[in-house]
Amino acid sequence: MEFDEVVKKRYSVRKYDPRPVEDWKIERILEAGRLAPTGKNSQCQRVYVLRSPEALDKIRANCSMTFDAPLVLLVFAKKDEAWVSRFTSRNIAETDTSIVTDHMMLAAVNLGLGTCWVGYFDPVPICDSLGIPNGLTLMHVLPVGYPAEDSEPYPMHFERKDLSETVTFL
């Protein structure tokens, strides 16, 4: 797919077909995340791939917004590895992991899959149930799968501000 087509085709998929995502597609998605830029090349992201029935049961029980997707990627930050701005003291882990997640999201769309970026979750029960090691902060949840036949974008998908409201040329 052309890049513009990928960007235009993407929408938040909230209804999935149960068929599993092929391993080679999972690898391509993970590779897109691996190649994402990160502050000072820290690569502070850690990605957990949930695809076993046991892992999927746990995430579904502890996160109401995985929409029964057959694959869920959890993107964590190892914050102590992330670059910290000397000017603002800001730890850049959230930015790094967002770029990684967006790369994976667009790679999935390019492979004919759907995704939905999920920020609505309580990390504690998710991490406890999956035995996530200390030192990792759950930043983003990304359900992935083939959109259900009757999946459609929510109305919000079509609501975008005009460029004149968000862009300033000087």
Ligand X SMILES: Cc1cc2nc3c(=O)[nH]c(=O)nc-3n(C[C@H](O)[C@H](O)[C@H](O)COP(=O)(O)O)c2cc1C
Burial (CB count <10 Å: 0-12, 13-18, 19+), residue 81:
middle
Q: In the chain, which ranges are continuous DSSP H helix?
A: 3-9, 23-34, 53-62, 93-110, 123-130, 163-166
Nearer to ligand X, 29 or 142 (CB): 142
Please report whether residue 118 would count as binding ligand X according to CB under 6 A: yes
Contact window for ligand X (CB under 6 A) among 35-43, 73-81, 127-135, 148-156: 148-156
Q: Which of residues 73-112 bind ligand X (CB under 6 A)?
A: none
Applying CB under 6 A, the site for ligand X has a residue count of 13
- Half-sphere exposure of residue 39, counting CA atoms within 13 Å on the CB side? 19
Please report whether residue 48 would count as binding ligand X according to CB under 6 A: no
Q: How far apart are CA 26 and CA 30, in angstroms?
A: 6
Q: How far apart are CA 77 and CA 58, in angstroms?
A: 20
Burial (CB count <10 Å: 0-12, 13-18, 19+), residue 45:
buried
Q: Please, are residues 45 and 33 in contact by the beta-carbon 8 Å criterion?
A: yes
Please report whether residue 155 would count as binding ligand X according to CB under 6 A: no
Nearer to ligand X, 17 or 87 (CB): 17
Least CB distance from residue 134 to ligand X, whole Å? Answer: 25
Q: Which of residues 3-22 bind ligand X (CB under 6 A)?
A: 11-12, 14
Q: Please, are residues 65 and 141 in contact by the beta-carbon 8 Å criterion?
A: yes
Please report whether residue 120 would count as binding ligand X according to CB under 6 A: yes
Least CB distance from residue 97 to ligand X, whole Å? Answer: 11
Least CB distance from residue 55 to ligand X, whole Å? Answer: 19
Contact window for ligand X (CB under 6 A) among 22-30, 36-44, 84-92, 150-158: 150-158
